[in-house]
Amino acid sequence: MDVDVIVLGMGPGGEDVAGRLAEAGLRVAGVEANLVGGECPYWGCIPSKIMIYEAETSRDWAALLRRVREATDSWDDKVAADRFTGKGGHLVRGHGRITGPGEVRVGEQVLRAAKGIVIATGSQPAVPPIEGLAGTPYWTNHQAIENAELPASLIVLGGGAIGVELAQMFAAFGVEVTLLEAAERLVALEEPEAGELLAEVFAARGITVRTGAKVERVDYDGRFRVGGVEAERLLVATGRRVDLAAVGVGAIGLDESARALATDSRMRAADGVWALGDVVGQGAFTHMSMYHADIVVREILGTPVHEAEHHAVPRVTFTDPEIGAVGLTEAQARQRGLDVRTATGDLGTRGWITQSRGLVKLVAADGVLVGATVVAPPGGEILGLLTLAVHARIPLARLSAMIYAYPTYHRAILPVVRELAAG
């Protein structure tokens, strides 16, 4: 098949690129081995957040299952596939591997691209090589989302975003949950204060948390035994990985052993090759892949394009309370040699009204914010102002002179900004 562009991976970013290029009149082949739409609509953003919402509101497991199946079309991608082909795109089912410049093999079929290849193959759950784990019926987030029966007990291996979100969700439905994390705190990539507060919330809700837990062996005989803990099910949530060797990037001179593909500010990984989303290593978020996708589309079509900036990447962990963060943590800022100043505050009057646990932590350097974290029931929503401030490098003096509505969670930012501005 001869086309203009081959898009490897039809997750959110890949589907967006492929669909928009097809609408623009280009011949596009979209290659997908799994479901068109990728992780987000079938296991990630959408169904997992439905489960978290139902756990905190109705706590009706049957209603949750109905909503998840409706949202995912019972893990059927016909709607997404038809959406792409309806725009004139060619959908090729199977695993695509680059075999040379402008060439991809899918099974016995060879695709050739006149303009180039877009690599949007995403990431997969990273399963550690723990003795005894292989061959057991452990869960990744896929099985946890798809399961129809609530287990009586669950071990969650990993205290990152996926692990803590699903641990809290299952606990809300009465499952006995033990979370094992190798690092010394939960959500270890975020500010220490956020992980410490979340651990206190988990303890109050009956979730057992063991940090600094080095798991060396898993035993299974109908029940799982891990690190002295026994449970009906085991969820492995130890991060995600990118497999560049499977994509065949070595055939175009790129390092297959790298943890991510390096690109320039227009998402070009090589001549006639663009990359986006998880494979770029700037954050495994749907909003990141969509941000990159817009740059790639404009670059290929030759329309005005904004160059990629990654200094203000927002991220949210959807626990209760939510952890919203943007830019650098204090530790990351110090590692970069910045002249760092920080300030921390509580949720103010709104926090007192709602009796909510939370905090605001701001990281500044050279008179502007370089990072921010908000832990609050609507932490992800409060993050909007802080993302703008970090992205646009708005001076602290200007932020401290704004009007903040009272009494809102949003207003909790003001005293923290003023403390930094006065420093």
How confident is the prediction along the chain (423 residues), in pLDDT tens digits per residue? 999 999 999 999 999 999 999 999 999 999 999 999 999 999 999 999 999 999 989 999 999 999 999 999 999 999 999 999 999 999 999 999 999 999 999 999 999 999 999 999 999 999 999 999 999 999 999 999 999 899 999 999 999 999 999 999 999 999 999 999 999 999 999 999 999 999 999 999 999 999 999 999 999 999 999 999 999 999 999 999 999 999 999 999 999 999 999 999 999 999 999 999 999 999 999 999 999 999 999 999 999 999 999 999 999 999 999 999 999 999 999 999 999 999 999 999 999 999 999 999 999 999 999 999 999 999 999 999 999 999 999 999 999 999 999 999 999 999 999 999 997
Exposure of 337 by Cβ count < 10 A (0-12 exposed, 13-18 middle, 19+ buried)? exposed
Q: What is the mean pLDDT of the chain?
A: 97
SS3 for 44?
coil
**Nearest partner of 183 among 151, 215, 143, 154, judged by Cα:** 215
What domains lie within the chain, and their CATH numbers? 2-37+77-123+242-301 (3.50.50.60), 141-239 (3.50.50.60), 314-422 (3.30.390.30)
Long-range contacts of 297-302 (CB under 8 A, 24+ apart): 297/16, 297/17, 297/20, 297/21, 299/266, 299/267, 299/268, 299/274, 300/5, 300/17, 300/21, 300/26, 300/115, 300/116, 300/118, 300/274, 301/21, 301/24
Identify residue 294 by its one-letter amino acid code. Answer: D
- The residues that bridge with 191 in the sheet, in sequence order, are none
> 307, 371 in Cβ contact below 8 A?
no
- The reported pLDDT for the residue numbered 10 is 98
Q: How far apart are CA 80 and CA 243, in angstroms?
A: 25
Secondary structure E strands in 319-358: 322-327, 340-345
pTM: 0.95
Backbone dihedral angles phi then psi of residue 362, each to the nearest 5 degrees: -120, 140
Return the structure tokens found at 252.
């175009």
Does the CA dihedral 59-62-66-72 come out positive or negative?
Answer: positive
